[in-house]
Amino acid sequence: MKKAEISFDSLPSSAVSETTLKICLKCAFDVITKQLKLTTRTAYSELKKHVPEESDFSGAATSRPHFLAEQQTDHCPFCNGTKRWFADFHARRIDSHPSFEKERKKLWTALKKAPDRFTVWSPERTKMQIFSEWLERLNRSIDFEGDHWLLDVAVSNIKRSLPSSDWEIALAGGVRRVQLSRDVEEGWRYEAGWLYVSPGIYGDALMVQHLISRSHLHGGRTFEGRLTLPELMRRLRRIGYFEARGIDAHEPLEAFEQAIVKIVDSGPSAVYYAVDRKDYLDKLKSVYEKKRDK
């Protein structure tokens, strides 16, 4: 019987980040057979158990025999071996939010039934760490040329705090403008390219735009123009953001900090990784068989 393919489609795509890590199997075998002087057969049974670590996928400590797929190359950066030695590990990182935790658990149960193929783990993270990693990924993915990034950041933040599989359908027509509106039920409404949002959601967008552009030239940019911190806080107060979010502070920096805490709190609460080893195991087997039959 053919087993049904496991699909991640039950989770909101905005909560899933994918990374492909490459491994050079020539290097992987050489480390064991040449350096440790073990047989090809032992190397194969050891390598079958191999799972890269989070720091390999994140790029924080990617090392031989691994390299990231974004480095477009036909040759191994370590041994110069050709592409036929390459295999892929496909990692999905889920920033899990209570609103879809049920679907996540169900998917994990399915993944655990295929333990050879899928390795799953959950690194310890605080909500603040999850938020700053999200900000980091967003920062890397956006293009600060022009003004379009303001929209991208606003929409990404809405998807972060209100994750749903329906966003792709709801916003299929594309977002041309995010408009503050005081009479939207459910917090938002989409109509002909305009996304009307409540003061809470609009203010969150200004906050995140301010945060993400601070480290860039002409920082502090938002939908409302370039603002200093006190100006941003005055603007937020005027649109009713503090009231909407239950923020009670007199001093700008204090208000800013309270707002960050609320934004972080509205987001994901745990991180899960699932690493698909299918391509790796298939290629490992074929490389091993060729070596063995030589």
Binding site for Zn ion (CB under 5 A): 24, 26-27, 76, 78-79, 81
Q: How far is the CB of 60 from Zn ion (least distance, A)?
A: 21
Q: How far is the CB of 157 from Zn ion (least distance, A)?
A: 41
Nearer to Zn ion (CB atom), residue 73 or residue 141: 73
Q: How far is the CB of 78 from Zn ion (least distance, A)?
A: 5
SS3 283: helix
DSSP string across 121-176: E-----HHHHHHHHHHHHHHH---SSSHHHHHHHHHHHHHHS--TTHHHHTTT--S
Q: Go through 78-98 and write b for each residue having 16 or more CB atoms within 10 A of its CB, e for each that does not.
A: beebeeebbbbbbbbbbbbbe
Nearer to Zn ion (CB atom), residue 77 or residue 220: 77
Nearer to Zn ion (CB atom), residue 36 or residue 114: 36
Q: How far is the CB of 165 from Zn ion (least distance, A)?
A: 40
- 265, 97 contact by CB (below 8 A): no
Q: Which amino acid is at 36?
A: L
Dig out the tokens for 243 from the structure: 């009231």
SS3 190: strand
Nearer to Zn ion (CB atom), residue 79 or residue 128: 79
Q: How far is the CB of 6 from Zn ion (least distance, A)?
A: 30
Dig out the tokens for 287 from the structure: 């490389």
Nearer to Zn ion (CB atom), residue 87 or residue 162: 87
